[in-house]
């Protein structure tokens, strides 16, 4: 199962006051989209208007515009509105920009199945370390707030440690300065010298492990994904600490193999793009 943006921490950007000049009608249309997306499949114009705090006439104008653009659909039998199929283009565009090719998505799902653990693919984006894709199931869920878009506390996550370890020193110092290294749990490594020693071990071993540094009763393991020799992402799994300690070799083998395959997949996709 592939998850979407979740609340919690700063991985997801919540609507709120802005000091920058915005276009009210566009802001209202976007809020309307989020209202429909958060509802079950079918929400009426009256309910939308109430949640949007807008009059019904304005709401209908917005609904008709978004429906014409394919971002919403009018559902039969007076069920109201649902997200339209045009939203798939936005989803596909995000996946392209995050390097989530079909091959990468398939790899992460296989890691989830083989490791019997929640799995994810993280990448660099705009100076941040961001979860780009998650594979989970009811039996092996990814605990919140670790979801697509999450970018907090890289010093406390295995995928964050992998990518911090392979950043140029100046970039790493800048990211640590922006994000901070405050303790997230009582086991978080939150002093720069200790963190740097841990990152040196990650570079040497090619693997990162964290035990309850980000969340109690959660342990994660990650390996780097490379493009032309440079680390551009990480494959990671998350499970309970007892399971991590008991199955460490098995999980490490699964993640290392997947990271190697992912490195080939992103490099191959680049070559295909150049030839196109």
DSSP 60-71: HHHHHHHHHTTS
State pLDDT tens for residues 229-271.
Answer: 899 999 999 999 999 999 999 999 999 999 999 999 887 765 5
How many other C-beta atoms are found inside a 10 Å radius of the C-beta of residue 163?
29
Asked if the model's pLDDT at residue 57 lies above 50, the reply is yes
Asked if the model's pLDDT at residue 75 lies above 50, the reply is yes
1-5, 7-11, 145-149, range with greatest mean pLDDT: 145-149
Lowest mean pLDDT among 89-103, 130-144, 171-185, 249-263: 89-103
What was the pLDDT predicted at 245? 95
Percentage of the chain with pLDDT > 90?
Answer: 66
Whole-number Å distance between alpha carbons of 208 and 195: 12
Give the torsion sign (CA, 19, 184, 212, 249): positive
Between CA 155 and CA 162, with CA 159 as vertex, the angle to 5 degrees is 80
Q: What is the DSSP letter of 53?
A: T
Confidence tier at 178 by pLDDT (50, 70, 90)? confident
Give ranges for CATH 1.10.10.10 in the chain.
24-85
State pLDDT tens for residues 194-231.
Answer: 999 999 999 999 999 999 999 999 999 999 999 888 99
What was the pLDDT predicted at 228? 84
Asked if the model's pLDDT at residue 106 lies above 90, the reply is yes
How many residues are present in the chain? 276
Distances (CA, A) of 223 to 23, 154, 202: 43, 14, 9
CATH code, residues 98-275: 3.30.450.40
State pLDDT tens for residues 12-29.
Answer: 434 444 556 778 889 999
Task: Identify the architecture of domain 24-85 in CATH.
Answer: Orthogonal Bundle (1.10)
What is the average per-residue pLDDT within 129-153? 92
- Closest by alpha carbon to 149, among 127, 164, 134? 134
What was the pLDDT predicted at 16? 46
What was the pLDDT predicted at 20? 66
Asked if the model's pLDDT at residue 167 lies above 90, the reply is yes
Structure tokens at 151: 């970018």
What was the pLDDT predicted at 41? 80
- Yes or no: say if 176 and 129 are a contact pair by the CB < 8 Å rule: no
Asked if the model's pLDDT at residue 93 lies above 90, the reply is no
- Pairing between β-strand 80-83 and β-strand 72-75 as defined by DSSP bridges: antiparallel
State pLDDT tens for residues 181-197.
Answer: 999 999 999 999 999 99
Question: Who wins on pLDDT, 97 or 150?
Answer: 150
Residues 6+ apart with CB under 8 A from 13: none
Whole-number Å distance between alpha carbons of 162 and 156: 11
Give ranges for CATH 3.30.450.40 in the chain.
98-275
- Chain centroid offset of residue 33 CA: 20
H or E segment at 135?
strand 128-135
How many other C-beta atoms are found inside a 10 Å radius of the C-beta of residue 106?
13
Percentage of the chain with pLDDT > 70?
Answer: 88
- Closest by alpha carbon to 197, among 142, 148, 155, 141? 155
> Which residues pair with residue 72 across a beta bridge?
83
Asked if the model's pLDDT at residue 5 lies above 50, the reply is no
């Amino acid at each position: 199962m592939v998850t979407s943006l979740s609340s919690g921490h700063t991985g997801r950007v919540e609507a709120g006051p802005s000091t920058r000049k915005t276009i009210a009608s566009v802001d209202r249309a976007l809020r309307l989209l989020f209202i429909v997306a958060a509802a079950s499949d079918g929400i009426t114009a009256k309910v939308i208007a109430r949640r949007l705090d807008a009059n019904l006439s304005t709401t209908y104008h917005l609904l008709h515009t978004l429906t014409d653009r394919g971002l919403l659909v009018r559902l039969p039998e007076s069920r109201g509105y649902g997200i339209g199929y045009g939203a798939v283009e936005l989803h596909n565009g995000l996946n392209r920009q995050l390097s989530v090719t079909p091959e990468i998505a398939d790899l992460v799902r296989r890691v989830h199945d083989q490791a019997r653990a929640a799995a994810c693919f993280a990448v660099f984006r705009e100076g941040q370390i961001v979860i780009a894709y998650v594979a989970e199931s009811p039996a092996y869920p990814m605990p919140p707030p670790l979801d697509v878009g999450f970018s907090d506390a890289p010093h406390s996550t295995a995928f964050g440690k992998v990518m911090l370890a392979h950043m140029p020193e100046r970039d790493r110092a800048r990211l640590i300065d922006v994000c901070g290294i405050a303790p997230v749990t009582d086991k978080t490594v939150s002093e720069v010298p200790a963190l740097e020693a841990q990152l040196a071990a990650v570079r040497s071993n090619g693997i990162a492990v964290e035990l309850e540094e980000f969340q109690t009763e959660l342990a994660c393991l990650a390996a780097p994904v490379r493009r032309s020799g440079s680390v551009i992402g990480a494959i990671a799994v998350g499970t309970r600490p007892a399971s991590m300690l008991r199955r460490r070799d098995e999980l490490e083998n699964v993640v290392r193999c997947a990271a190697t395959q992912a490195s080939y997949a992103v490099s191959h996709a680049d070559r295909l793009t150049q030839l196109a």
